[in-house]
Structures are given as C-alpha cells and as structure tokens.
Structure 1
Amino acid sequence: MTVASAASRLWVLGVDSGGSGLRVALGRAGAGGVPVPHGRVSAREPVRTGSSGIDAGHLLDMLLPAARTLLTAAGAADQPVVAVCVGAAGMATLGDRVRAELPGALAAELGTRGVALAADAVTGYAGALGERPGVVVAAGTGVIALGTDLRAWRRADGWGHLLGDCGGGAWIGRAGLEAALRAHDGREGGSLPLLTRAVESFGPVAGLPGRLYPRADRSAVLASFAPEVARCAAGEAADPVAAGILRAAAGEIAVTAAAVCPPGAGGEVALTGGLFRIGEPLIGPLRAELERRLPHAVVVSAAGDPLDGALRIAAALPHGGPRLPSDPYLLRVAARIDPRSGGQVG
C-alpha cells in the first residue's frame, strides 16, 4: 500500500470554536492532504473563557461527544481520529491551557497522533485560500486581515471596536449613529435618513447613550446598525452621508489588506465574513480601493469557511503537515504523523 493510499484511510477532525458556538467536522485525509468530508455537527454554546484563558476542559467536554457522534454516524465508532485541528477565537492570546492540555487528552480519548492548534484567523485563511499565498480579510463586527507568503504570517487590525476594527460593522454602525445624532442636534455632517433609521431601531435618540454604553455587547449593538447605513446608501435616492461612511469603511479595509499583502504580483485577496453581505454599497467602493492600493492582486471568492479550513489543516497532517507557516501562537503543530501507520513521529 502506498503512503498516499494509507493516509487516505485515516479519519481527521476539524474544529471551529467561536463566539457563536462550537462546530466539528469529520473527514478522511484525502490525496494530497485534501479532506474528504463525512459530516459535521454544531453546538450553539460557546466555549467558556476565564482568567486563565480558553477553558480547555469545557472545550473537551463539547468536542469529544461531537466527535463520537460523527464517528458513529460514519460507521467508525471503534476507529481512531489520527489528526485534529482546533481553530479558536482567542487562541493566539488565550490559548495556553489549550496548547498544554489538548494534545494529550485527544491522544488518550480519540487515539489522536497529530494535533494542530490555530487562531481562527488562520483556519479562516485555510478555508478561504487553502495553502496559497495571499490575503484573507475577515469582516463582521470587527475586521482582521491575515496575509502570508508561505514563509511567515502578517496580521493587521483585529484590535477591537475601541482601539481598531476599522471599517468593520461596529465602526460603520457607530459612524452612522454619530451622523444621526448630528442631524438631531442640527450640526454639520448629519443625516436625516440615518436619524429616522436610528429612531426606528433604538427609539428616541436622546436615550441612546444610556441604552448603549452599559452593555457588554456594545460592539454587536453598534454593528447591528451597519445594514441600516447600507440601506440608506443604496439606490437612486442614496443618502450621501451614508454612502460616504461606506466609502470610508472600504478605504480602511483596503488599508488593512494592503498592510499584510505579500510583495510581488499575482497575489489573491479573499473577502470573508458577514459584513460583506450588506452588498454593493460597500463591495463596490472596496473593490475600487483594492484595485488602487493592490493593483497586482486579484480579488477572489472564499472557497470555504473556518471549519473547512480546520478540516483541511487536519487532513494535511498525515501528508507531512500544512504548507502554511508554523507560528507559536497562530499555528502550532503539536505532533506529526507517519502516514504508513498512523503513528506519531514527533
């Protein structure tokens, strides 16, 4: 049996842990490290994070039953999962316990011999572009860009709505509400259409600070107004203030992408995340800004999501590991696998 055919018989697992919950995908390590998916499950409960970082015990309590459910459904309840990639929000700064505890626990519970631990931005990159050089911009409530030339990672923004996330949903929503309040006060730069939308969304704007400032989910509340800004910026009767906000957001996102783009021609830029669902009022200016700042890059559609990326990285482990750069915090391969036997080689 060839090495490739032996590896393709091995079960692998991808895990995506974020604020919306935990998702797990099972697959085979296909030829060349391309996964052959066999199923996925999800739980809406997010993994807990405390003073010591991501709660590795809670992560395992959610992951192991999901893995066994998937193995049973695939008729492989008695077979090991030889490789696992866990992508998690906060892995870079809050993942010390996960890095210390998960490899041993997965080996004991699932027979795992290869483990990759990644920041969710890395699994997002792998899902969007695979193992090609380029840039992935993930934009939702916030914005983060990750780029690589396959030798090292470069990251820009992702600093949260108080210090950064420029051009993201919270940034757009805050700018829209500021324009609404300017119109309420009679100051320059105000927008009556945005004021109308703000009242419809939040009630009388005089009480908005008291309703907004104390909330722990303040960034999400701000981001919820971004689609209203886009609606005001769309169509023949587009509000120029709203349209200007989205042009400014596009400029900020393009600056972030340019900061991490590998040098040289032929790079790819993939756009991922829920913010881009607001459509042409943002996408149009963003494409123009990217063409201006990165004339040699090509904007492409993301091939998959972070869970697809985690499964792809896991499937690469029996084939010598992913071609993506290792990094102590962004992508750490805890062990590699001998594809002839499924055994650990270090």
Structure 2
Amino acid sequence: MTPPPDGGWVLGADSGGSGLRVALAAVREPAAEGGGVRVVDCVEFGEPVRTGAGGIDAAHLLERLLPAAEGLLGRAGGGRLAAVAVGAAGMATLGDELRATLPEALRRSLGVGRLALAADAVTAYAGALGQRPGAVVAAGTGLIALGTDLSGWRRADGWGHLLGDCGSGAWIGRAGLEAAMRAHDGRRGGSAALLARVEALFGPPATLPGLLYPRADRPAVLASFAPEVARCHADGDPVSAGILAAAARHIAEAAAAVCPPGHDEPEVALTGGLFKMGDPLLVPLRAELAEHLPSARTVPAAGDPLDGAVAVAAALATGTLLLPREPGMLDTTTLQPTDRA
C-alpha cells in the first residue's frame, strides 16, 4: 500500500486510436525534497473510445475512466485526486461533449479538484518536451506537428487521411498501395515489389477497393501497409525509397511550420509509432530537417502522450502549468470540492 503523497494523487488519461490508457501518479510539491511526479499504477483498454455524431462519446469514456480511477486509487490505499488530465484524439474538433460532461462527472464521482482536457497533440508535446518551448511531431497512423513559445500553440496538419496527415503511416501506406496498383495497370510510377506485397497480403489487386473502401478503420488499414514500403525500400525498390523520401519532406515541412520563431537553437522532438520504422524513414528525415531547420536540435522524446497527461495533471495540481491554455487545445477547470474522502 502506497501512502498518499504530500502533493496528492493525480490521474492522467490518454485516449487515442488504439485504445485508452489511465495512470495514477504520486506528486510531491515542487519545494519538497525529491519533488516531482511518479507513476505508481496504470490500466489499459485495447478498444478506442467511441466517436459519434456528437463527437467523442463522453459516456463511453466515463464508463471506463471512473472504474479505472476507483480501482487505481483503491490499490494505492485511497485518497483524493488533486487533478486529472485527459488527452484525447479529436479533442479540438470533437470534444464539445467531453468539455460539457466530464467536469461535473469527475467532481461528483471522484472529488477531483482540477481538470485539464487536452488535444492528444498537447499531451504528446508535454510527454516529449515537457514545458519547454520547441516543436513536436507526433506521427503514427496520422500526423500532427505542434509547437509553442509558451505564449500560444502553432499547429500544422493533423487533418486526417483525406485532407492531410502528410507523411504519416496512412499516407505512406496509401502511396505504397497506389504504386502497387500502378504496376498492376502497367502505368508509370508503379512498383512490382509493392504489387507483390499487395498480392501476398490482400489477394488479387482488383479486389482491393472492395476490401478497403467500406472499412470504418481505413486509416489503420492504410497504415498497416507502411512497413511493407519500408521493407521494399530495404530490398532496393526505388519507388518505395521515393515514397519515404517524400514522407520525410512532409514531416520536416510540418516541423518547420510550427517551430517557434526567435529561438537560436529550437528543440524538435519526434514521437509516435511511425518513427520506429527506423533508418528507411529517419535517414531522409534527418537530411530534410537539416535543410528546413538548420539551427534546430533534434532531441529524443522524453516520454509518450500518457506521460504527458500525467505531467500536465501534476503541473495543474501544483500550480506550475506553463503550457498555454487555449480553447480546444488545452482547457483547464477548477472544480468545487465534494465531501469525498
């Protein structure tokens, strides 16, 4: 059993396309010896929170978040949550129901004192760079770049697989599938290597539209082909190499668009599953970043979006939150206490 910390308990939640993760952390006041935040327990849900006509489904999120929080607090010995931070994909455009519902629900059920609702790009930024000025590119199935000088947010892309997410896993996968279909048709720009991978994974190429277009999870299906592009590049396929070089250019352009001006050596961090692709993407990306941001320092991401949600909650609890509050990006609320022990 863990005794309640002097700064209280905080809860961070990361709601994304692959599921929901919730972490309980112990906070020590900044002035205290060993001040900081330490995650003590977490739970994961493999299915993502639903999104409907009204945006992110607040009831579905609460069905998971409240029991998870109760269980985490119970295992830790009880106590009150000083702050909660929820980072959610789609918060900026689909988060109205969450912003209307969560504050009162968390106050009433958990006695939460302070609440932050953030776009997942903000928690990705906080996990990667903390509360320092800089730029972060978060890339997986989709892609968004976010930068700040701590006075406001600068955003590039994150517009989804139909309007943007250029350089993302879905973008790379779609480009690879297009190159395969060009080879199938005998058009210029096709790749026989990628066509062979399509046939191995999906069957006859002519059936691919029927397999892909009706799917509600089209971005994830597209992104599932991105590793095949990297494999074909490693085997010497020039078309695949060109796709990854173009993706690297898009990523560097997004980073350059959000990098805060007026900093001699701005920090740029890359976070998300796409960058696990390794050298086939990272080698051309380093070259593109050197061209687009010659004075920037590329630094390793310190943590992931769940780490960022915990860090935002801890900063909110201790009055040390420096990241800019901005509607739809990072909204914070102080709640009236309840009698909950």
TM-score (norm 2): 0.92
Aligned twin of 1:328: 327
In the alignment, the residues of structure 1 paired with residue 335 and residue 29 of structure 2 have an alpha-carbon distance, to the nearest angstrom, of 17
Task: State the 1:31 CA deviation.
Answer: 3.9
In the alignment, the residues of structure 1 paired with residue 67 and residue 219 of structure 2 have an alpha-carbon distance, to the nearest angstrom, of 33
In the alignment, the residues of structure 2 paired with residue 82 and residue 110 of structure 1 have an alpha-carbon distance, to the nearest angstrom, of 10
Aligned twin of 2:47: 45
In the alignment, the residues of structure 2 paired with residue 293 and residue 150 of structure 1 have an alpha-carbon distance, to the nearest angstrom, of 22
1:11-68 deviation digits (Å, cap 9, x = unpaired): 1111111222221111122343731211111122322222222222222221111111
Aligned twin of 1:247: 245
1:75-127 deviation digits (Å, cap 9, x = unpaired): 12xx1111111111111112112112212221222111111111111011101
Aligned twin of 1:315: 314
In the alignment, the residues of structure 1 paired with residue 124 and residue 190 of structure 2 have an alpha-carbon distance, to the nearest angstrom, of 37
Task: State the 1:214 CA deviation.
Answer: 2.0
Letter in 2 for 1:55: D
Secondary structure in structure 2 of the residue aligned to 1:289? helix
Aligned counterpart for 2:24 among listed residues 23, 26, 31: 26
In the alignment, the residues of structure 1 paired with residue 65 and residue 41 of structure 2 have an alpha-carbon distance, to the nearest angstrom, of 14
Superposed counterparts of 1:1-346, under 5 Å:
8-32=6-30, 34-76=36-78, 79-234=79-234, 237-263=235-261, 264-335=263-334
Secondary structure in structure 1 of the residue aligned to 2:240? helix
Contact 1:139–1:274 at 8 Å: present in 2 too? yes
Task: State the 1:300 CA deviation.
Answer: 1.1
Contact 2:137–2:271 at 8 Å: present in 1 too? yes
Q: Which is worse superposed, 321-330 or 50-59?
A: 50-59
Secondary structure in structure 2 of the residue aligned to 1:326? coil
- 5+ residue gaps, structure 2: none
Contact 2:9–2:24 at 8 Å: present in 1 too? yes
Task: State the 1:210 CA deviation.
Answer: 2.2
Contact 1:139–1:272 at 8 Å: present in 2 too? yes
Q: 1:34 to 1:250 in 2, by over 3 A?
A: same
Secondary structure in structure 2 of the residue aligned to 1:334? strand
Aligned twin of 1:3: none
1:121-148 deviation digits (Å, cap 9, x = unpaired): 1011101110011111111111110110
Secondary structure in structure 1 of the residue aligned to 2:290? helix
In the alignment, the residues of structure 1 paired with residue 46 and residue 17 of structure 2 have an alpha-carbon distance, to the nearest angstrom, of 9
Contact 1:313–1:322 at 8 Å: present in 2 too? yes
Q: Which is worse superposed, 315-324 or 286-295?
A: 315-324
Contact 2:127–2:311 at 8 Å: present in 1 too? yes
In the alignment, the residues of structure 2 paired with residue 186 and residue 97 of structure 1 have an alpha-carbon distance, to the nearest angstrom, of 49
Letter in 1 for 2:278: G
Contact 1:87–1:118 at 8 Å: present in 2 too? yes
In the alignment, the residues of structure 2 paired with residue 306 and residue 197 of structure 1 have an alpha-carbon distance, to the nearest angstrom, of 33
In the alignment, the residues of structure 2 paired with residue 218 and residue 12 of structure 1 have an alpha-carbon distance, to the nearest angstrom, of 35
1:245-301 deviation digits (Å, cap 9, x = unpaired): 100110011111111011122211111111111110101000110011101111111
Q: 1:295 to 1:46 in 2, by over 3 A?
A: same
Task: State the 1:173 CA deviation.
Answer: 1.2
Secondary structure in structure 1 of the residue aligned to 2:40? strand
In the alignment, the residues of structure 1 paired with residue 311 and residue 11 of structure 2 have an alpha-carbon distance, to the nearest angstrom, of 9
Contact 1:193–1:232 at 8 Å: present in 2 too? yes
- 5+ residue gaps, structure 1: 1-5
Secondary structure in structure 2 of the residue aligned to 1:304? coil
1:280-338 deviation digits (Å, cap 9, x = unpaired): 0101000110011101111111111111101101111122141000001100111189x
Contact 1:149–1:262 at 8 Å: present in 2 too? yes
Q: Alpha carbon RMSD of aligned pairs, Å?
A: 1.8
Contact 1:22–1:47 at 8 Å: present in 2 too? yes
Secondary structure in structure 2 of the residue aligned to 1:214? coil
Q: Which is worse superposed, 308-317 or 328-337?
A: 328-337
In the alignment, the residues of structure 1 paired with residue 172 and residue 50 of structure 2 have an alpha-carbon distance, to the nearest angstrom, of 29
Contact 2:86–2:117 at 8 Å: present in 1 too? yes
In the alignment, the residues of structure 1 paired with residue 59 and residue 190 of structure 2 have an alpha-carbon distance, to the nearest angstrom, of 50
